[in-house]
Amino acid sequence: MTTDPSTRTTTAAVTADPAATEAAAAEPASSTAPSGDAPVANDDRPKSPQDYDYPRGWEADVIASDGGTVHVRPITPADADKLVAMHGRTSERTRYLRFFGPYPRVPARDLERFVNVDHHDRVALIVLLGNDIIGVGRYDRYPDSDTAEVAFLIEDAHQGRGLGPMLLEHLAAAARESGITRFAADVLAENGRMVRTFLDAGYSPSRAYEEGVVRLEFPVEPTETSQAVSYSREQRSEARSLERLLTATSVAVIGASNDHTKLGYAVVNNLLSFGLDGPIYPVNPTAAHVAGVPAYRSVLDIPHDLDLAVITVPADQVEGVVEECGQKNVRGLVVISGGFSEKDEHGRTEQQKLVETARAYGMRVVGPNCLGVVNTRADVRLNATISPNVPPPGRVGFFCQSGALGVAILADAHRRGLGMSTFVSAGNRADVSGNDLLQYWATDDRTEVILLHLESFGNPRKFARLTRQIARDKPIVAVKSGRHTGAKAGIAAAVPIPDDIVEALFESSGVMRVDTLEQSFDLAMLLAHQPLPRGQRVGVVGNSSALGLLVQDACLSNGLEVSEGYPVDIGPEGSVEAFESALAGALADDNVDSLVAVFVPPVVTDARPYAEALGRLSMNSEKPIVTTFQGISGIPAGLQEVGGGGELLRGSVPSYVSPERGVLALAKATSYYAWRSKPEGTPVDAEDVDNKQAAATIYGVLEKEPEGRVLSPEETEELLGAYGIVSDARDPGDDGIPVTIGLRDDSSFGALVSFGLSGLALELFHDTAYRALPLSDTDIDELIREPRAFPLLDGYRGQPKVDLDALHDLIARVVTLGEHNPEVRSLQLDPVIVTPDGACVTRASVRIGPPVNLGPRRLAPAI
């Protein structure tokens, strides 16, 4: 294989040398596919890539494996000079392996072919960092075939950042849109690491060997394995991007000031006071020192590397500061400055520019209009906020959007002694979102409980996927504001969401929803310090019969039951020994799953020995204990167990000002344990489906009408038929029961499946059940049984039972269709007549459009 590199028709291999593990081979010759746009050699060609027509939906910001951001988009003729510059920066070794020859420069003929593609049969995606191309991936379709040859080239300095697998994922998504079903690649036999790249991506390529070259072929359709690998890469990358922010040990404060009324003064002072384990660099164009620390005129004047820049300058100066931070190679930004999307449309435009500039330089952004970030880890000690009140180290991670509310959150947590691992106030959530923090906390050993205060959802489908997985190991508590008033103005995607849909999203994901921040702290104190209750039976011990009755009422109101023989009342004059004995008896009782201890100290009695007795028993208890002790909200000294780093240990007993608040926390934790104990079930993936037919129907419409539309009856029949759903308008008999099955994918809350009985039950009582995609078989069973009218399907008053298995299968096919085809924006089967002999779809409606919040790995658009 010694063909001239400029006309080579096979794909060269990536080296086994670790320094160039992601370089791949040359593209097929130009004869294998038609060329696209006009030649490059044209003095009149536009200078900007935006002047060319290319699929805008393929453009994306992506997080590399090291946590930095890069931009991906289709190549255009305007990128010719950048492509040549990238070629010049690659090593001789990389070029040899890329082109099977020295290839010291790119001939004009090859350059013209490389940058002119048709975005259908010939596709090339470039990876940009700032203004530089640092990677290229492309495919070329074989003539009259559904197979394409794929190739990559990654600049030496950026190999090892996961850009090759990322490009493969994006190219595969583009190929599926163009009707390509298989990729092929030629790799040198000695290059085992390149072969490993495809295998590690979750593909199982076939292999053929000839003259030292391995021919690999594999389908581009995602598999369960490839999807799991993609999610794993996404988690690691997004977690690392947040780690770069939250573990910063060198911080610049841009807008630092000696004026005590300025935000820049508060941030510098709080960084110093909390004891950041690293240097702090105030930036002020006129001051020599800020808070006694030498100041710099510009971030560019700082002589050392920077992990984080906190920006407090006025809004009209932020864009220029972000550009300078990019030039300085700052790793992340916290923008406390306000005056952006929360203000007006001009501010929204400036906010988009801010994020686009930051991502172009590989930086993530918290904010703007935010409070900041906190990390209590001993070797970090980062308080990059305007709040001096920081909680002690602990096991709770807290995310909120509101900057103003964040001040109150930190103050309340500090007052209660609720320890936190990390805290992030995202403000306008222009870049870093709650989903990013979920990815970080998923693998952060210091975070055992997650608290979220949400005003809107960024990517609800991703939120449902993440929370469903994370909540199996770590409790998630959410306060969703706007229950009755809608979303806050100025927040991106702030579309009012029906509360029953929000509830369904949380319930199906294992998220414990509470109504107030006070309730979230109450629940967090329990989850962070006590074991989960394994049942609904509550023992009650105290020295006040009145409080004991309040506990009983609260249990009945919240779905708990007081065990027989309780409350146990030792009386107001009961001794410490009597109190401890009663508590120990309750904890040893097999009929008790959790314990509520209520204690009102007599005026002349020292309460501390009673608290210490309760604390001692708690340290060795496998059952949760909550208490109302002296009306204290928090964990008083006698109920604390303190670790060497000052953090409260598990076994510390949370105290609530009223029994009702402690019981509500117990009830939420009990329901969560029940959810976590349920079998996860098997992911739904219906058999005997024809993805190719479905894609042909969908893209046959979208290619002509990109905005989408309602499908015609014939198109609907084609699409549903590909998934084994047959519509029949004939009356199946007067013994059937009409039901409705729906699928809706919306930018405000993600993809949901709905089910209910059709007709009056639905119209009058809104008796509909919802579940967020993806669903398991057990989720479908719950969905069917959740409506209050379900007994009508199950032989109510001696009526024949309908075929629930057939109904389950039909819903599974709808779910599979929605999972495979995110272009399906809504689907309604109404009515479906279910009988003892099956389920008959009598009417169907489908609307398709561009997919929402989906596709290969990408960050949400700048907002």
The pLDDT tens digits of the residues spanning 259-299 come to: 999 999 999 999 999 999 999 999 999 999 999 999 999 99
Domain 530-677, CATH among 3.40.50.2000, 3.40.50.261, 3.10.105.10, 3.40.50.300: 3.40.50.261
How many whole angstroms separate alpha carbon 320 and alpha carbon 413?
Answer: 36
Residue among 194, 52, 65, 192 nearest 124 (CA): 52
Which residue has tokens 């009324």? Answer: 261
pLDDT score recorded for residue 485: 43
Higher pLDDT, 683 or 815: 815
Higher pLDDT, 503 or 757: 757
Reply yes or no on whether the pLDDT at 38 is more than 50. no
Question: Pick the residue with more confidence: 607 or 37?
Answer: 607
Percent helix, strand and coil across the chain, each rounded to 5?
A: 35, 20, 40
pLDDT at 482: 55
Question: Residue range 519-535: average pLDDT?
Answer: 96
Quick: pLDDT tens for 406-428.
888 888 888 888 999 999 999 99
Grouping H, G, I as helix, E, B as strand and the rest as coil, residue 480 is strand
Contact 772, 481 (CB under 8 A): no
Q: What is the pLDDT of residue 679?
A: 87
How many Cα neighbours within 13 Å face the side chain of 625? 29
pTM of structure: 0.86
CATH class for the domain made up of 241-526: alpha beta
Instruction: Compute CA distances 678 → 328, 465, 469, 622, 633, whole Å.
Output: 51, 17, 13, 20, 33
Sign for the CA dihedral angle at 712, 714, 717, 718 comes to negative
119, 74 in Cβ contact below 8 A?
Answer: yes
Cα–Cα distance for residue pair 391/389, rounded to 1 Å: 7
Separation CA 241–CA 364 (nearest Å):
7
Task: Compute the distance between CA of residue 773 and CA of residue 779 in angstroms, rounded to an integer.
Answer: 10
User: How far apart are alpha carbons 509 and 515 in whole angstroms?
Assistant: 17
From CA 27, how far away is CA 149, in angstroms rounded? 7
Amino acid type, 45: R
pLDDT of residue 135: 96
**Of 406-410, 458-462, 650-654, 824-828, minimum mean pLDDT range:** 458-462
Mean pLDDT (the chain) is 87
Closest CA to 65 of 362, 349, 289: 362
pLDDT per position as a tens digit, 47-58 = 788 899 999 989
Neighbours of 408 (CB within 10 A): 14
Task: Measure the CA–CA gap between 131 and 360, rounded to whole angstroms.
Answer: 8
Q: Which two tokens stand for residue 59?
A: 């453009």
Do 499 and 481 form a contact (C-beta atoms < 8 A)? no
What's the confidence (pLDDT) of residue 658?
93
Intervals of CATH 3.30.470.20 along the chain: 691-848
Count CB-CB contacts under 10 A for residue 210. Answer: 11
Cβ neighbours around 728 below 10 Å, total: 11
CATH number, span 18-221: 3.40.630.30
pLDDT band at 11 (very low <50, low <70, confident <90, very high): very low
Domain with CATH 3.40.50.720 in the chain: 241-526
Model confidence band, residue 506 (pLDDT cutoffs 50, 70, 90): confident
pLDDT over 70 percentage in the chain: 89
What is the token pair recorded at 809? Answer: 């299968």
- Please determine, looking at this structure, whether the domain spanning 691-848 carries the CATH number 3.30.499.10: no
What are φ and ψ of residue 124, in 5° steps?
A: -135, 130
**CA 417-421-427 angle, 5° bins:** 95
Which helix (H) or strand (E) is 674 found in, with range? helix 659-677
Give 212-222 pLDDT, tens digit per residue. 788 999 999 87
230-234-240 Cα angle (round to 5): 150
DSSP strand pairing (364-366 vs 332-335): parallel
Distances (CA, A) of 288 to 44, 113, 267, 284, 572: 51, 56, 17, 8, 65
Looking at residue 23, what is its pLDDT?
A: 36
Q: What's residue 463's pLDDT?
A: 85
Joined together, the tokens standing for residue 219 give 């389908």
Mean pLDDT of 645-656: 89
